[in-house]
Chains A and B, each alone.
Chain A
Amino acid sequence: MTTLSPGRRPLRLRGPVGGRPPFGRPGRPAFGRRPRLDWALCAAAVALCLLGAVLVWSATRPRLVAAGEDPQAYLKRQIANVVVGLALMTALALSGHGALRAWTAPLYALSCLGLVAVLTPLGMTVNGSQSWLGLGGLRVQPSEFAKLALVLGLAAVLGDPPDGGRRPRGPQVLLALGLAAVPLGLVMLQPDLGTFTILAVTAGCMLVVAGVRWRWIALLALAGAAAAAAAWWLELLRPHQVQRLLTFTDPAADPQGAGYNAAQALVTVGSGGLFGRGLFQGDQTGGRFVPEQHTDFVFTVAGEELGFAGTMLILLLLWIVLRRGLRVAGRAASPYGTLAAAGIVCWLAVQTFVNVGMVVGLAPVVGVPLPFVSYGGSSVAVCLAAVGVLAAIHRQDAHRL
């Protein structure tokens, strides 16, 4: 077998778990005897979540203080989100391939149902997109779950060529396209350009990794481009989305209107310098100059208050997660595992790029959360669940070896 990081030992956490090392022993790879947990992956993900909670706290504190509410309200809720996410992660990490596959179909169906439901009067419109479902006191964003569902679904379809061939055959690819088309179409109806982009790129990446012939992929890319052009010319986008895209091409055109978020975000991140103003010391953050700062623009808090050092720390932690994910993909015992891990990596990478890119002016303002860091129960839970899936694949692969 080939791995992409030969000779490298997995990073493992040593001390804190004390005298009960359930998943491995220091120094030696624990082949087969006990299920291993990828500690570096989990630690990075948890660190991101905690850092995110602090940044959310800093971003929401001034507004809550001004409103005379509990300044830690959002911090507490985000911690609750993280705890729920960690539970989900643990559950998934402990389940096997079989369980994962068994749950894939219901998860996919449920996400699609959720995506349909947000379009009905059950859905809530925030910032021009109908993306949320109100379930009692909870607000759920089905499009977040759709990301994981699509990755697992595509992995299931593409990872098991029925005739045992090396590449997925035509019917499989068509089925995969069909699977992808349903959430893509539903997300487009909200409309949520950011999630659409992430889902489309992730699905494309998985087709590539699955080994689909290049000419098919080229054909698909062409078809996608044609569809995008058609959407533009036929004016299928909402006015606010068109405005955001236009603003991206010329941010100075309308600094008080559509370009306001982008301009404020850039100024806020840039004002941090090397080491930032210090946590809770940012005047742009404290003055609430950046809209949506605790959700889509949480990266600006790190930029202003923690500086270049802080933004690099976040990118480094995310990079560790992705790096470990790719390692899992490379070592997976089955194509299913490889595809699922690679899909998760693609998804998180693209989402990170789109989010940070829109903050620093490399991408249009499309409104996607920063994985693990942004405030939001659905986002945090799904990201941690994805880490759980990676851990499960890793564990399975350890079993097999």
Chain B
Amino acid sequence: MRSLSRRPSPFRLLLVHVLVTSLFLVLACRLWQVQILDGDRYAGAAAAEHVRRITLPAVRGRIVDDRGRPLVRNRTAMTVTVDRAALGRLPDDGRAVLERLARVLGRPRAELSGRLRICGPETGRPCWAGSPYEPIPVAEGVAERTALQIVERPEDFPGVAAVPQPVREYPQGGLAAHLLGYLAPDDTPGRGAGGTSLVGRDGLEASYEADLSGRAGSREIVVDSTGQVLRTLREQRPQAGATLVTSIDAKVQAVVEKALERAVERARGRGAPADSAAAVVLDVRTGRVVAMAGHPSYDPDVWTGGIAQDDYERLTGAGHGSPLVPRAIQGQWPPASTWKVVSTAAAVADGHDFHGRYDCSGSYRIGDRSFRNFGGVAHGTMDLHRALVVSCDTIFYRFAHEMWREDERSGRPAEPVQRMARAFGFGAPTGVDLPGEAAGRVPDRAWKRSWWERTRERTCADARTGYPETARTDPARAAYLKAIAAENCTHGHVWTAGDTANLSIGQGDVLVTPLQLARAYAALANGGTLYSPRVGKALVDADGRVVRTITPPATGRLPVSGRTLSAIREALADVPRSGTAAAAFAGFPFDELPVAGKTGTAEAYGEKDTSWFASFAPADEPRFAVVVVVSEGGSGGEAAAPAAREIWSGIYGLEGRRAALPGGRLSARLPDLTREAR
């Protein structure tokens, strides 16, 4: 009994029982909650930690010319990347590593750390728009030897890697830079892989972005806590972008670019500013673009690997001639006498006989203003054929005046010149497969009124105050401008007979782009079909299958009879032989290639004339249309026509030159792309 009485109380032992049981019950319940009830949520959180999704970029498609010659392709360049997470684990946040890396790469450390910043609302450029867990590229196009130096010393460069990455390469140099466009980092909000992916920003790269870029693949990998890859969960292979076959012929393009460059040089030699120039070569029978160039241009290689700030300023700055602007589709000038094909067609449609006799007087009087023939020379009576050849203005002034009077009488103006101009495709974008195309302008009564309403306040202010700035240096000019401002302030909305007269010879407010003029002349040459031109011809996938063929759609027919068109063509055929372009085409082998064309000399107050030449050939059975413009380059016969002559010789191999397209033949079939190495 004694021993029993000394036993600890069973009740107190029961308390330990209760304690143990309740502790275990609590743990079991909590585990049930964590593992069963919330299990899926925690599984998701765990996956978010150890599963990473990596975007596998697709190889971008090439852009090749009509014969399969690559204009843009890909080359592998070493890109040095830095893993922010790995740097963050170092005691000094990787400062020493970046210092060493900057020395090896020969770039300032600030640039490297700048590119490692994560983009935010307050962050300046450069910065990284992608995932902070992805390796961030800090230097592209690194030399193989430099890359090796980094790869071979992982202890000196923790978190730094050199990986081969495809970059754009331009095997033809700066050829067709405006057409091709360029790539820039995709900063569209919501596109996950921000800074890594490049998208087409201009030219064909932008127009055919969806086809060229292909489809990026993805890989899901399991990583450990240090970011080391343990295994691959699943992988979706990227799909390479399609190759864009264009109708551009690299040789013709080279001829055109050379001709433009020399035209600008020659014009500058004569003392003209020749600030810019452009040229277009169209296949008149299909509406395809064979060559298209603008001057000044640039080397698209500057975009590769991210553009430096000073390069960017040089490309966009007006002081450098804005070489980024594709003048062939964005440059707009008054078309001058090249416009006379429109006026002629409008006059014939209005009932004037093409072969009638008209007086090409030295000047034509409308109201109190005398409109002079070009140079003030009288040529006597002539038909419209001769009027086109010698580029008589007064005949068209008279037509315009008559039409204007008719419009004023009728109360509902028919505006026949404007109507004809729109039928030729002016005043609206051509719809070419290039971004940023300008629409040009066909001025009419409605446009003039709206323009006046928009500018009246300013105009009237100028009419009151004059131009004090200009007056200090050039009082005559200031007085002239002030008189015009006063006139415009009160009567600027009135469409005058003078406006129609100016329009009829392609001067005044009318604006066209070189491409618009080229397709109008192509329509004239092909018998009246107006095409929406196309540069792209077909998209071919990596296996050589044609994904899509691109055909320029016919967007309209000229409301001009075949007889009139052929009469105009015949007239234009005489321009280079005996007309305004005769000097430029002196000695040209017309028996080998009869070239037809029209010069244009656009005048602007206070500026040098802008020189146009719009042409097609062979005159009897046209294949190509060639349009050249040299802004502030002189008269049409002076600057543009010689350049056009050079282009024609270059295409057909005349005057001792090698033919870019022997016999002017384009290949009907698509080039065989399989031979060409990627």
Q: Is the CB of B13 within 8 A of A271?
A: no
> Is B45 an interface position by the 8 A CB rule?
yes
Q: Is the CB of B34 within 8 A of A205?
A: no
Contact of B8 among A303, A315, A339, A346 (CB under 8 A): A339
Across the interface, which residues of B come within 8 angstroms of A352, CB to CB?
Answer: 23-24, 27
Interface hit among A125-133, A181-189, A222-230, A279-287: A279-287
Closest Cβ neighbor of B23 among chain A residues:
A353
> Is A369 an interface position by the 8 A CB rule?
no
Q: Is the CB of B8 within 8 A of A209?
A: yes
Q: Is the CB of B8 within 8 A of A267?
A: no
Q: Is the CB of A346 within 8 A of B10?
A: no
Main secondary structure of the interface of A (DSSP, over half): helix
Question: Contacts A4-B10, A209-B12 known; A315 to B27 CB distance under 8 Å?
Answer: yes
Contact with B along A244-278 (1 / 0, CB 8 A): 00000000000000000000001111111110000
Closest Cβ neighbor of B43 among chain A residues:
A271
Q: Is the CB of A1 within 8 A of B226?
A: no
Interface hit among B217-225, B273-281, B348-356: B217-225
CA A362 to CA B23, docked complex, whole Å = 11
Question: Contacts A205-B19, A284-B49 known; A274 to B13 CB distance under 8 Å?
Answer: no
Interface hit among A83-91, A170-178, A322-330, A378-386: A322-330
Question: Contacts A166-B5, A205-B19, A208-B15 known; A270 to B27 CB distance under 8 Å?
Answer: no
> Is A211 an interface position by the 8 A CB rule?
yes
> Is A356 an interface position by the 8 A CB rule?
yes
Across the interface, which residues of B come within 8 angstroms of A289, CB to CB?
Answer: 46, 49-50, 224-225
> Is B471 an interface position by the 8 A CB rule?
no
CA A308 to CA B24, docked complex, whole Å = 14
Q: Is the CB of A267 within 8 A of B45?
A: yes
CA A123 to CA B10, docked complex, whole Å = 42
> Is B28 an interface position by the 8 A CB rule?
yes
Interface size class of A (residues with CB under 8 A): 35 or more
Q: Is the CB of B27 within 8 A of A303?
A: no
Contact of A335 among B6, B20, B34, B43 (CB under 8 A): B6
CA A326 to CA B5, docked complex, whole Å = 20
Contact of B45 among A271, A312, A335, A356 (CB under 8 A): A271
Across the interface, which residues of B come within 8 angstroms of A271, CB to CB?
Answer: 39, 42-43, 45-47
Question: Contacts A319-B24, A326-B17 known; A270 to B39 CB distance under 8 Å?
Answer: yes
Across the interface, which residues of A come within 8 angstroms of B494, CB to CB?
Answer: none
Contact with B along A332-348 (1 / 0, CB 8 A): 01110011001001100
> Is B35 an interface position by the 8 A CB rule?
yes
> Is A124 an interface position by the 8 A CB rule?
no
CA A326 to CA B47, docked complex, whole Å = 42
Across the interface, which residues of A come within 8 angstroms of B6, CB to CB?
Answer: 161, 164-166, 335
> Is A142 an interface position by the 8 A CB rule?
no
Residue among B10, B28, B35, B41 with the most chain A CB within 10 A? B35
| B26-55 contacts to A (CB < 8 Å) | 26-28, 30-32, 34-36, 38-43, 45-47, 49-51
> Is B366 an interface position by the 8 A CB rule?
no
Across the interface, which residues of A come within 8 angstroms of B35, CB to CB?
Answer: 269-270, 272-274, 303, 307-308, 311
Across the interface, which residues of B come within 8 angstroms of A268, CB to CB?
Answer: 42, 46
> Is B428 an interface position by the 8 A CB rule?
no
Across the interface, which residues of B come within 8 angstroms of A330, CB to CB?
Answer: 10, 13
Q: Is the CB of A284 within 8 A of B8?
A: no
Q: How far, in Å, is B223 (CB) from chain A's closest CB?
A: 6
Question: Contacts A4-B14, A270-B41, A319-B24 known; A283 to B230 CB distance under 8 Å?
Answer: yes
Across the interface, which residues of A come within 8 angstroms of B153, CB to CB?
Answer: none
Q: Is the CB of A208 within 8 A of B12?
A: yes
Q: Is the CB of A1 within 8 A of B7?
A: yes
Q: Is the CB of A274 within 8 A of B36?
A: yes
Contact of B31 among A208, A284, A311 (CB under 8 A): A311
> Is B104 an interface position by the 8 A CB rule?
no
Q: How far, in Å, is B234 (CB) from chain A's closest CB?
A: 14
> Is A373 an interface position by the 8 A CB rule?
no
Closest Cβ neighbor of A304 among chain B residues:
B46
CA A362 to CA B47, docked complex, whole Å = 24
> Is B2 an interface position by the 8 A CB rule?
yes
Across the interface, which residues of A come within 8 angstroms of B24, CB to CB?
Answer: 315, 318-319, 349, 352-353
Q: How far, in Å, is B29 (CB) from chain A's closest CB?
A: 10
> Is A66 an interface position by the 8 A CB rule?
yes
CA A4 to CA B12, docked complex, whole Å = 11
Across the interface, which residues of B come within 8 angstroms of A2, CB to CB?
Answer: 10
Question: Contacts A4-B13, A4-B14, A357-B27 known; A338 to B46 CB distance under 8 Å?
Answer: no
| B226-245 contacts to A (CB < 8 Å) | 226, 228, 230
CA A284 to CA B31, docked complex, whole Å = 18
> Is B96 an interface position by the 8 A CB rule?
no
Q: Is the CB of A362 within 8 A of B26?
A: yes
Closest Cβ neighbor of B42 among chain A residues:
A270
Contact with B along A190-217 (1 / 0, CB 8 A): 0000000000000001001111000000
Q: Is the CB of A283 within 8 A of B28?
A: no
Q: Is the CB of B27 within 8 A of A274?
A: no
Across the interface, which residues of B come within 8 angstroms of A166, CB to CB?
Answer: 5-6
> Is A149 an interface position by the 8 A CB rule?
no
Q: Is the CB of B16 within 8 A of A205?
A: yes
CA A303 to CA B38, docked complex, whole Å = 13
Across the interface, which residues of A come within 8 angstroms of B49, CB to CB?
Answer: 267, 284, 287, 289
Question: Contacts A270-B43, A360-B30 known; A287 to B16 CB distance under 8 Å?
Answer: no
> Is B465 an interface position by the 8 A CB rule?
no
> Is B677 an interface position by the 8 A CB rule?
no
Contact of A322 among B4, B14, B20, B28 (CB under 8 A): B20
CA A338 to CA B46, docked complex, whole Å = 46
> Is A288 an interface position by the 8 A CB rule?
yes
Closest Cβ neighbor of B15 among chain A residues:
A208
Q: Is the CB of B31 within 8 A of A287?
A: no
Q: How far, in Å, is B448 (CB) from chain A's closest CB?
A: 68
> Is B9 an interface position by the 8 A CB rule?
yes
> Is A71 an interface position by the 8 A CB rule?
no
Closest Cβ neighbor of B227 among chain A residues:
A287
> Is A62 an interface position by the 8 A CB rule?
yes
Across the interface, which residues of A come within 8 angstroms of B17, CB to CB?
Answer: 4, 326
CA A208 to CA B32, docked complex, whole Å = 32
CA A1 to CA B5, docked complex, whole Å = 10
Q: Is the CB of B36 within 8 A of A286?
A: no
Q: Is the CB of A287 within 8 A of B224?
A: yes
Across the interface, which residues of B come within 8 angstroms of A319, CB to CB?
Answer: 20, 24
Closest Cβ neighbor of B40 among chain A residues:
A273
Question: Contacts A210-B8, A267-B49 known; A326 to B13 CB distance under 8 Å?
Answer: yes
Q: Is the CB of B36 within 8 A of A267?
A: no
Across the interface, which residues of B come within 8 angstroms of A269, CB to CB?
Answer: 31, 34-35, 42
Q: Is the CB of B19 within 8 A of A349?
A: yes
CA A208 to CA B5, docked complex, whole Å = 17
Q: Which 8 A-B pairs have the closest CB atoms?
A: A270-B42, A287-B224, A271-B46, A273-B39, A308-B35, A271-B43, A353-B23, A349-B20
Listed A/B pairs (24) with beta-carbon separation below 8 Å: A4-B10, A161-B6, A208-B12, A267-B42, A270-B38, A270-B43, A270-B46, A271-B46, A272-B35, A283-B47, A283-B50, A287-B223, A287-B230, A289-B46, A303-B35, A322-B20, A326-B16, A326-B20, A329-B16, A335-B8, A346-B19, A349-B23, A350-B23, A357-B30
